[in-house]
Amino acid sequence: MASGKLQSKEIRLVSRPQGEPALENFALATVELPDLEPGQVLVRNAFFSIDPYMRGRMNEGQSYVPPFALGKVLDGAAVGQVVQSRDAAFPVSAWVQSLCGWRDYFVAPGQQLRLIDATQAPPSAYLGVLGSTGLTAWVGLREIARIRENETIFISGGAGAVGSVACQLARQSGCRVISSAGSSSKVAFLKNQLQVDHAFNYREADPVEELRKAASEGLHVYFDNTAGPQLEAALASMRNRGRLVMCGAISGYNKPVQGPRNLALTIVRRLRIEGFIVVDHLHRMAEFLAEAIPAVRAGKLLHQETAVQGIENAPQAFISMLRSGDAHIGKLVIRL
Ligand SMILES: NC(=O)c1ccc[n+]([C@@H]2O[C@H](COP(=O)([O-])OP(=O)(O)OC[C@H]3O[C@@H](n4cnc5c(N)ncnc54)[C@H](OP(=O)(O)O)[C@@H]3O)[C@@H](O)[C@H]2O)c1
């Protein structure tokens, strides 16, 4: 390969979405990559992650992560292989994880990369069940909800990346799992593949009625991926001293959503509501992987993903992910 002449395609944010993102908010660009400096590595991405939190970063204003800059390449989790290296810790053809998604190739210092063991699981699993997605479900259930055997838990967004791992981990901890999703094929996935105890389509059925039917004695835990009407329904079904884990609020990412009208139930029922951000728990990754890798290898933890082919299709995949429906089940990734 002629140094400095390799070109890479990348997706840039060129305008900030108002409400639902549109294809015009994104642009595909080609850049020339620099020669490697000592300590740097050239990586060819194989997969990158498409995540709901990226919508928040497309808005102006500071959140827990800085906003994406206009006219610049987007970023996010990616896995790929080393093509050229000036860091002995990252030999050619090693698999690495980075935060340099939304592009084909990149040059970065080795210390910004993490080696992954692609002999243990498919590399893309490190973006899903074995990545921060899996860790989010694990931390939310273990650290925030502190689930116990025989408890009844409701997990909204159960057929998505975080939700599908949370459903499996909760079942394996001996909980009774109720989950929801936005299409009949997702509900079938929840019932047949994840084997939850009760699943319903929140767009067709009334979540309040479904929870009343499926958890007549009330919920010990609600794992919230959506906020909106499902949060309100969960609040109405909580037992005394129940716990609500605020993981995500996707129903309000493109447009503001009404707060729950029954929040005062937290007082009457002595509820605990706690939010968390997975980046505060990354130091637990090794501990999580020590459990999750053997479980994936043994077929006890399903790695469910939907891979969309081609960097040029990433903006549409992102737009579709923020909608309800059949666009993806499990973790959404772009395959390059
Ligand atoms: N706290 C953290 O550190 C952390 C980390 C990762 C993710 N999260 C949050 O966890 C949630 C799930 O993330 P993910 O990566 O696993 O994404 P995902 O569930 O794989 O994909 C998003 C899903 O959200 C659902 N959705 C879209 N609009 C909705 C609406 N109006 N009401 C209800 N559901 C809607 C859709 O599924 P349906 O077809 O079933 O509606 C869609 O497939 C998100 O809220 C995300 O922000 C939090």
- pLDDT the model gives residue 61: 85
Does ligand 1 have an atom closer than 6 angstroms to the CB of 180? Answer: no
What lies within 8 Å, CB to CB, of 188 at 6+ separation is none
Residue ranges of the chain assigned to CATH 3.40.50.720: 132-279
Q: What is the DSSP string of 65-127?
A: SPPPPTTSB--B-EEEEEEEES-TTS-TT-EEEESB-SBSEEEEEGGG-EE--TTTS-GGGGG
User: From the CA of 37, how far away is ligand 1's center (Å)?
Assistant: 39
Pair type for strands 305-309 and 272-275: unpaired
Does ligand 1 have an atom closer than 6 angstroms to the CB of 251? Answer: yes
pLDDT tens for 275-331 read 999 999 999 999 999 999 999 999 999 999 999 999 999 999 999 999 988 889 999
Mean per-residue pLDDT over the chain, rounded: 96
From CA 259, how far away is CA 265, in angstroms rounded? 13
Q: For residues 216 and 203, is the Cβ–Cβ distance under 8 A?
A: no
Domain 132-279 CATH assignment equals 3.40.50.720: yes
Q: For residues 241 and 266, is the Cβ–Cβ distance under 8 A?
A: no
Does ligand 1 have an atom closer than 6 angstroms to the CB of 52? Answer: yes
Q: For residues 251 and 226, is the Cβ–Cβ distance under 8 A?
A: yes
- pLDDT the model gives residue 216: 95
Q: For residues 106 and 100, is the Cβ–Cβ distance under 8 A?
A: yes
Does ligand 1 have an atom closer than 6 angstroms to the CB of 181? Answer: yes
User: From the CA of 157, how far away is ligand 1's center (Å)?
Assistant: 6
Q: Which listed CATH number (3.90.180.10, 3.40.190.10, 3.40.50.2300, 3.30.70.1530) goes with 7-127+303-335? A: 3.90.180.10
pLDDT less than 50: residues of the chain: 1-2
- pLDDT the model gives residue 258: 84
Residue ranges of the chain assigned to CATH 3.90.180.10: 7-127+303-335
263: three-class secondary structure by DSSP: coil
* Both structure tokens of 306: 């939907």
User: From the CA of 225, how far away is ligand 1's center (Å)?
Assistant: 6
pTM for the predicted model, two decimal places: 0.97
- pLDDT the model gives residue 2: 47
Q: For residues 274 and 246, is the Cβ–Cβ distance under 8 A?
A: yes
Atom of ligand 1 nearest to the CA of 250: 45
Does ligand 1 have an atom closer than 6 angstroms to the CB of 110? Answer: no
From CA 110, how far away is CA 87, in angstroms rounded? 6
- pLDDT the model gives residue 325: 86
